[in-house]
Amino acid sequence: MDMDNDSDLKHSYEVLDLPDNSSREEVEKRFDILVRQYRSKPSEEFEPIAKAYRNITETQDRKKFDELTKQKYAKYKSFAGPAEKIDDFFRLYKGRVFAGLIALVVVIVGINAYLNHRAEQERLAKLPPVDMSVMILGDFSSSDGQEDTAAIEESLKAPFPEWKRVTALLSYLPKQGLGQASMALQQKALLQLGTERPDLFIMDKESYAWISNSSALMNLDAEAKGRLSPWLKESQALKAKQVDNPAEHIYGIDVSNSPLAAKLKLKLTHSELILGIRDGAVHKEQALHFIEQYLKGK
């Protein structure tokens, strides 16, 4: 590595405020912290951090590869160079053999994937039927810091002892954009909206404003005047305009102050909790019952 590269790498560590002997795990943890710290700042302020992170991780990967290569050919001692060139020769001229091996690996991997999928389907078949599915969209994270949604699902089901199973999908969207990182997260959320069919959405203010423009949410005007009216305050009924419907309608119910919201195993960065029902929800009645209970607060 030349002096310019050394200087550039040292600067990258300084940008992340890390010593230049930091491990990959330390770099990843520091980058995650900075992503959250910069979520409310302009994207151009985050760009040097993203560039420094890429420079460090790519350099670490190259060093690791070089180290593994040296270890591989160390047994040849002074013939390490020729041995490596011979390997390169076979990589270049034995393509058909390797292609056959790769095809065999693909077949084996495919069979394993099929068997794993089948085992997962058998496992799911043994579980109780789903009473309601939930998509949590916005600046939320699990309160225990785990990616597994099991604790969240249990907290969603807790107020409904008659229910056997609730599933949850957690889709993180930061409050403020972080350039490419924010765009990637939004594209992921769009993909999930197109492929998943949750009965209920749990959203923060910004994600509600974003999703209410589409046709994903159910019009709750009738429910707000009917079964929800005994507990629904006017300020809790959130109206919006959809792209194909210029008239304002109620698509979200704000339950941020509900005692039940405080019991969810969710970390609410801005203490906002807005509920909405997917248009065409399979378990519409359960979703309405969920909103009703959160408005009652018990």
- Over the chain (298 residues), the average pLDDT of each successive run of 10 is 72 91 87 77 80 88 74 54 50 53 68 67 73 91 70 93 92 68 71 83 90 88 96 95 84 94 81 91 96 91
Residue range(s) defining the domain that contains residue 214: 129-296
pTM: 0.58
145 and 69 in a single domain? The answer is no
Longest dimension (CA), the chain: 85
Cα–Cα dist 155/160, whole Å: 10
Of the candidates 157, 155, 149, the residue with the CA atom closest to the CA atom of residue 132:
157
What pLDDT was estimated at residue 7?
Answer: 83
- Close Cβ partners of 271 (under 8 Å, ≥ 6 residues apart): 256
136 and 284 in a single domain? The answer is yes
- Close Cβ partners of 5 (under 8 Å, ≥ 6 residues apart): 59
103 and 243 in a single domain? The answer is no
106 and 24 in a single domain? The answer is no
With beta carbons less than 8 A apart as the criterion, state whether 166 and 157 touch: yes
Of the candidates 139, 168, 170, the residue with the CA atom closest to the CA atom of residue 267:
139
- Close Cβ partners of 210 (under 8 Å, ≥ 6 residues apart): 173
What pLDDT was estimated at residue 100?
Answer: 61
Q: At what angle do helices 80-93 and 43-73 cross, to 10 degrees?
A: 110
Which CATH number does the domain housing residue 160 bear? 3.40.190.10
What pLDDT was estimated at residue 1?
Answer: 45
206 and 281 in a single domain? The answer is yes
What pLDDT was estimated at residue 89?
Answer: 45
- DSSP tag of 255: -
250 and 155 in a single domain? The answer is yes
